[in-house]
Amino acid sequence: VFVLDLTERKRAEEARRELESAFAHMNRVSMMGELASSLAHEITQPIASARNNARAAQNFLNMQPPDLGEISEAVGCVVGDVDRAGEIIDRIREQIKKAPPRKERFDLNASINEVIVLARSTTIRNGVSVQTRLADGLLPVQGDRVQLQQVVLNLILNAVEAMSSVETGARELLICTEQENMGALVAVHDCGPGIDPTQLERVFEPFYTTKSSGTGLGLSICRSIIDAHGGRLWAEANKPRGALFQFTLPNAKNS
C-alpha cells in the first residue's frame, strides 16, 4: 500500500509539473503575442513619420535649385524618427528581459512639447490645432521618458482620429499639465464625438476598438505604462463636448 501510494503521489506530482509548464508556455506565448502587437502598434508612427520626412527631402531635392536648408532639416527629422523607433525596440526588449523600468528624472513639459512636434505632420494633415497650457514650475517626474512619451502620443493620435471622424466643428486639441500635491497631472482634451458614458472603462481593454483599422491596443498599452509608473489614467467627458483623458505621475524623489 505504501509503495502504491508513493507511485500515485509521484504520478500526481508529474502531472502537476506538466500542467505548470504548459501554463508557463501558454503565458510565454501570449506574452510574446502581446509584445509583438504592442511593438507593431508603437512603431508604426515613427516609421510613417520617417517616410513622410524622406519624401519631403526628395521633393526639396527635385526643386530647381535644390533647397539644401530644407533637405538638411528633413533628413535630420528622418534620423530623429529612426532613433525613436530604435528606442522603442530597446524598451520592448527590456520588457522581454524583465529589466526593471528606467528611472530617469525628466521635465514632463519638455517631453510633451517634443511629442507635439513628432505628431505635427498628423495634426496638420487633419486640420487639428494644438494648444498647450503647461504649468510653470512643474516638478520633475521620474520614469521611462520614452514610454511616457508613447502614452502622450497615443492619446494625441486617438484625439486626432476622433475629431477627424466628424466633419463639422473646430478641431482643437488642448494639452495641459498641472502640479498636484502628489505629482503631475496631464490632461488631453479634444472636441470629437466623445465616449459613451457606459464605455469609459471599456476603452482601456485590450482589443476594444470602434475603428475599422484599429488594433484596440493603444489605450491598454498606455494604462499598463502609467500603472507601472505608479500613476493613474482615466477617461471622462470633456466640456462642452469631446473626450478628456487624464493621467497622474508621481514626482521624482528628492534624493
Ligand X SMILES: Nc1ncnc2c1ncn2[C@@H]1O[C@H](COP(=O)(O)OP(=O)(O)OP(=O)(O)O)[C@@H](O)[C@H]1O
Backbone angles phi, psi at 218, to 5 degrees: -50, -55
Nearer to Mg ion, 78 or 155 (CB): 155
Q: Name which position in 95, 123, 158, 248 contacts ligand X (CB under 6 A).
A: 158
Query: Minimum CB separation from ligand X for residue 87, in Å?
Result: 19
Q: Does 192 bind Mg ion (CB under 5 A)?
A: no
Listed ranges 78-86, 108-116, 141-149, 215-223: which one lies at the site for ligand X (CB under 6 A): 215-223
106 contact choice in ligand X, Mg ion, none (CB below 5 to 8 Å, kind-dependent): none
Our CB check for ligand X shows the closer of 179 and 215 to be: 215
The number of residues that bind ligand X (CB under 6 A) is 22
Which string of x and - marks every residue 166-195 that binds ligand X (by CB under 6 A)? ------------------------x-x-xx
Site size toward Mg ion, by CB under 5 A? 2
Among 130, 203, 225, 226, binds ligand X (CB under 6 A): 203
Burial of 71 (0-12, 13-18, 19+ CB in 10 A): middle
Residue 190's binding partner, choosing from ligand X, Mg ion, none, with beta-carbon cut-off 5 to 8 A by kind?
ligand X
- Is the CB of residue 53 less than 8 Å from the CB of residue 81? yes
CA 186 from centre of chain: 14
Q: Quick one: which of 176, 209, 228, 250 contacts ligand X (CB under 6 A)?
A: 209
Whichever of 116 and 151 has its CB closer to Mg ion, that residue is 151
Under the binding rule (CB under 5 A), the answer on residue 53 touching Mg ion is no
Q: Binder to ligand X among 219, 225, 233, 249 (CB under 6 A)?
A: 219
Which one of 158, 177, 220, 248 is in contact with Mg ion (CB under 5 A)? Answer: 158
- Nearest Cα neighbor of 76 from 90, 100, 60 is 60
- Binding status of residue 162 toward ligand X by CB under 6 A: yes
Kindly list the residues in this chain that would bind ligand X in the complex (CB under 6 A).
41, 154, 158-159, 162, 190, 192, 194-195, 203, 208-211, 214-220, 243
Kindly list the residues in this chain that would bind Mg ion in the complex (CB under 5 A).
158, 218
